[in-house]
């Protein structure tokens, strides 16, 4: 039987820092207020001369190097994003050209913050069904471009970044489980009203009902995580590292406590980057590896919740 395994990770983090102090000059807020409610100290903002596909290319180049894989060996590219360079073509198609891979399939998926987990599910199925052997799976957001910096409820939260993994055919199990879900009834609790076919010229920035999203996120992350753990034939005590979506420190802490996981088994970097949407858990995974907090054989739990509502959890053996 074929299995799918992550063999390399890469990230791109913009240089420009937008601190809480900087935001004090834009909206009625303070460093203390933001930290207390979100755990965020700063976030990164992409320059106007750099695109989502540019970020993806840098993250993929690093992931390919770390996996010791050349672009010519890649069989397909899947990008999770809601902030493409254009409505069409896809970021993945632009990325194929930037990386100079063979003319392999390339497509984007839109699942908000949960996009990477959705992409991982698709990539795993393609490899385990022997359709391909090596894929690039990317999560990237240029989310500052759809953030209203007069809206205190959203502008304090989001930052830009990209992350990528190389996923390869393996004789050993790597992706143990991926469990997804969605509920469109709550779609307008976290959405961009304008810019689509319904209202092409409307308000094109994120709108969010924070309290409602918070309550649902805590509940769903717990239940979805337990579902993924059970599907991997494990128990919560078998998880060596919990990498939750970096959306809000209070959500992370509530989820960790409900899963009864100790502090040292939960990776958090939201203070540095804020909510980077589909790139979030990829940044955390890459940093945890570089900090030697993940070792061979560890069971890693990812869990993400976001716009749609859409959510996903995955258990990966490193």
| pLDDT tens-place string over residues 73-91 | 999 999 999 999 999 999 9
Distance between CA 204 and CA 94 in Å, rounded? 23
| The predicted structure's pLDDT at residue 317 | 97
Q: Which segments of the chain have a pLDDT < 70?
A: none
Residue with tokens 């003319």: 103
Helix 52-67 × helix 91-99 angle, to 10°: 50
Q: Is 275 a catalytic residue?
A: yes
| The predicted structure's pLDDT at residue 154 | 96
Domain count along the chain: 2
> End of a domain among 127, 150, 170?
170
| The predicted structure's pLDDT at residue 56 | 98
Same-domain check for residues 102 and 137: yes
Same-domain check for residues 196 and 160: no
CATH number for position 73: 3.40.47.10
Among 56, 60, 245, 248, the active-site one is 245
Same-domain check for residues 110 and 92: yes
Among 142, 224, 248, 275, the active-site one is 275
Among 60, 113, 155, 179, the active-site one is 113
Distance between CA 249 and CA 38 in Å, rounded? 5
pTM of the model: 0.97
Distance between CA 77 and CA 88 in Å, rounded? 16
| pLDDT tens-place string over residues 208-256 | 999 999 999 999 999 999 999 999 999 999 999 999 999 999 999 999 9
Same-domain check for residues 237 and 309: yes
Q: Is 286 a catalytic residue?
A: no
> End of a domain among 170, 202, 222?
170
Same-domain check for residues 135 and 10: yes
Distance between CA 231 and CA 314 in Å, rounded? 9
Q: Is 93 a catalytic residue?
A: no
Same-domain check for residues 121 and 214: no
Same-domain check for residues 153 and 216: no
- Facing residues of 168 across strands? 5, 134
Give residue 78's domain range: 3-170
DSSP letter for each residue of 167-203: EEEESS--EEEEEEEE-GGGGGGEE--SSSSSSTTS-
DSSP letter for each residue of 217-282: HHHHHHHHHHHHHHHTT--GGG-SEEEE--S-HHHHHHHHHHTT--GGGB---HHHH-B-GGGHHH
> End of a domain among 170, 191, 211?
170
Same-domain check for residues 208 and 165: no
Nearest C-alpha neighbor of 153 from the set 254, 278, 309, 275: 275
Same-domain check for residues 113 and 188: no
Same-domain check for residues 201 and 101: no
| The predicted structure's pLDDT at residue 1 | 73
Q: Which residues, including other chains, have CB under 8 Å from residue 119's CB and lie 6 or more apart?
A: 78, 79, 80, 109, 137, 138, 139
């Amino acid at each position: 039987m074929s299995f799918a395994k992550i063999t390399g990770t890469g990230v791109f983090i913009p240089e420009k820092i937008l601190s809480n102090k900087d935001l004090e000059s834009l909206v009625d807020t303070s460093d203390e207020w933001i930290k207390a409610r979100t755990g965020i100290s700063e976030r990164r903002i992409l320059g106007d001369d750099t695109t989502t596909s540019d970020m993806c290319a840098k993250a993929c180049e690093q992931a390919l190097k770390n996996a010791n894989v050349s672009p010519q060996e890649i069989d397909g590219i899947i990008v999770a994003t809601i902030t493409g360079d254009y409505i069409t073509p896809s970021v993945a198609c632009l990325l194929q050209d930037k990386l100079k891979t063979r003319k392999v399939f390339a497509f984007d998926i839109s699942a908000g913050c949960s996009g990477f987990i959705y992409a991982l599910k698709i990539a795993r199925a393609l490899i385990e069904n022997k359709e391909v052997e090596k894929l690039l799976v990317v999560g990237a957001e240029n989310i500052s471009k759809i953030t209203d910096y007069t809206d205190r409820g959203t502008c304090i939260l989001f930052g830009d970044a990209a992350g990528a993994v190389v996923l390869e055919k393996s004789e050993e199990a790597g992706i143990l489980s991926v469990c997804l879900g969605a509920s469109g009834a709550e779609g307008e609790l976290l959405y961009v009203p304008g810019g689509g076919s319904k209202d092409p010229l409307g308000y094109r920035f994120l709108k969010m009902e924070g309290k409602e999203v918070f309550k649902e996120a805590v509940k769903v992350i717990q239940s979805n995580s337990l579902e993924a753990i059970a599907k991997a034939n494990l128990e919560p005590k078998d998880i060596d590292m919990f990498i939750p979506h970096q959306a809000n420190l209070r959500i992370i802490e509530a989820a960790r406590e409900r899963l009864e996981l100790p502090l040292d088994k939960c990776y958090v970097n939201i203070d540095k980057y804020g909510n980077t949407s589909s790139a979030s858990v990829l940044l955390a995974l890459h940093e945890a590896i570089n900090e030697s907090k993940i070792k061979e054989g560890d069971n890693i739990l990812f869990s993400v919740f976001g716009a749609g509502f859409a959510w996903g959890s995955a258990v990966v053996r490193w």
